[in-house]
Chain A
Amino acid sequence: MTSPASSSEVKYLIESSEGNTFDVSGAALRQSNTFNAMFLNIGADGPIPFTDYNEATLKKVFEYCEHSVNEENYSGPKHQDDLSKWDLNFFNEMDQKMFIDVINASNFLDIERLTSYCCERIARMLRGKNTQEMIKVITLPTAEELEAKQKVEEKKAAAAKKVAEKAAETAEKTETLEELPVQQLVQTTRNKLTRKYLSFSNE
């Protein structure tokens, strides 16, 4: 659903993964090439579902878009040193998890300027680092860590297998008893007792 904010500006409702909705200006949304490709021409009937991303992330992404509405058209990546104070604050106040969520959302929404700034920021983090230093920064697991992880996973798999086998066994037993109807159960017991009685009488 769209809600007119003014005669010249349209607002769109965005739906997040939590099912919450919030509105974003058309001008901000138009910075998303994904939006332009999907909704700009056909319009949106109801909230636009960006349900792979949570509300906080989407709000952060569109906060950036709202801010850069009046900036000149994007013409390639800008060096971090040329970023405004607002831009720097925008990036600095995010923790790593939020930053990663914002890059992923920005990448999905295809917001060139934001994606490019985020990527340049990561590149800057790695600038001047050699291979060993990069391995540490990009947290690649070492061979020992991989081996330990594999052992833990093997143990977990073995334990899960045991539990599954035990559960299957119990289920089988219960199933044999539960499957017989009451009358049949009575008849079976009666037959057993009769056989026992007959065997006694023969003796």
Chain B
Amino acid sequence: MKKDKDKILGKVTGDEYKFGFYTDIEQDSIGRGLNEDVIRKISEKKNEPEFMLEYRLKAYRHWLNMEMPGWANLNIPPIDYQDLIYYSAPKQKTKPGSLDEVDPELIETFNKLGIPLEEQKHLAGVAVDAVMDSVSVKTTFKETLADLGIIFCSFSEAVREHPDLVKKYLGSVVPYADNFFAALNSAVFSDGSFCYIPKDVHCPMELSTYFRINAANTGQFERTLVVAEKGSYVSYMEGCTAPQRDENQLHAAVVEIVALDDAHVKYATVQNWYPGDKEGKGGIYNFVTKRGICKGDNSKISWAQVETGSSITWKYPGTVLKGNNSKSEFYSVAVTNNHQQADTGTKMIHLGKNTSSIIVSKGISAGYSNNSYRGLVKVARGAGNARNFSQCDSLLLGDKCGAHTFPYIETDNKSAVVEHEATTSKIGEDQIFYCNQRGISTEDAVGLIVNGYAKEVLNKLPMEFAVEAQKLLQVSLEGSVG
């Protein structure tokens, strides 16, 4: 039986990346390397107002004095920042007015990923802001959203059309000096998504952006800003797939979320970038800074993520609970296989009174991978009656992989109640036996158990995403199982 299981686990963990392909689209790039001229060029190409260029330069100058942090439980090969291309946009002569005008090859790429723009447009009722490399290609459902006063557009468009909003909120959650990669992103970010929900508006559909990294050697520097005004609600989805490439690619995005009084923002991520091949060659470096702030009273930010891709994942989506009675949730499944590495988790910073947060993190390691949860729960002195519950479970599939837990719990207020628990285990023989006994094959049992293990998090994803996430889990781990 053990042999049987090993075989299944082997099959499960031996599955190849299914989304590896490369679309040949003419690219408009600035040469390799980074200096002030490159930043000026990026800003110029995007027709940005003066304040953006200044912001970029300020960030760049600060970045020059920073060093890449080395505290993570990761083995990162040195990155030559002068060998990266900082701007690359699919070349288009004119802006497409309708879907028919969009490059058919581009559409084909999305079709291969199972994200047919047209179908989604008609059937799923999802407005997709498809980002391929750095420039937003097509925004759908914009008119419907515009009727409600919702702004959902590419970041560069927002900079041009809504400079006041951008100026007010850009860098308010993740300042450019926040960390090494945030500074780099602030200096060179090419595009991203901007979302603004006006007061008391309940966004009627799931907003979604699909990111793709396409051109070789292009660091993708996304910038996402979500602002939810008083009493509003939005559910935002971000999904990622990237084609198979041999050279490591750097992805250093910044996501900022602002929730004002009584607002509720849900932010879901499915990340399935190319994780490298079985020997650990290639793959994406995913060094992302994601942070939300519950600025107003009674506001809420929910994070849900499924991380299956990237050769190195290094990110801590977090929430600053500033408003009184604000809430935050973090639900995460992180899967690492072969030679993938992940050091991921969350930060919950309690500043307001009666704030509460929940963290549920499920790690699954297989192959030769290392999967670490690192999370901070900080209760500031004035955060009376703060409440946190964290649960971090790790599942090990195979004896060559590692699962680690590094929680940081800093409590500075006597009325706080902070709890943390974690377990590390493998699939129990008894669990398999129980299933076998009831006529479920070992193969199905492994699938059943892994899915059941992650269910608590998958349930938190929006419907449209849950299916894809489940599929991803299977692709990443289960092979033909389950």
Mutual binders A and B: no
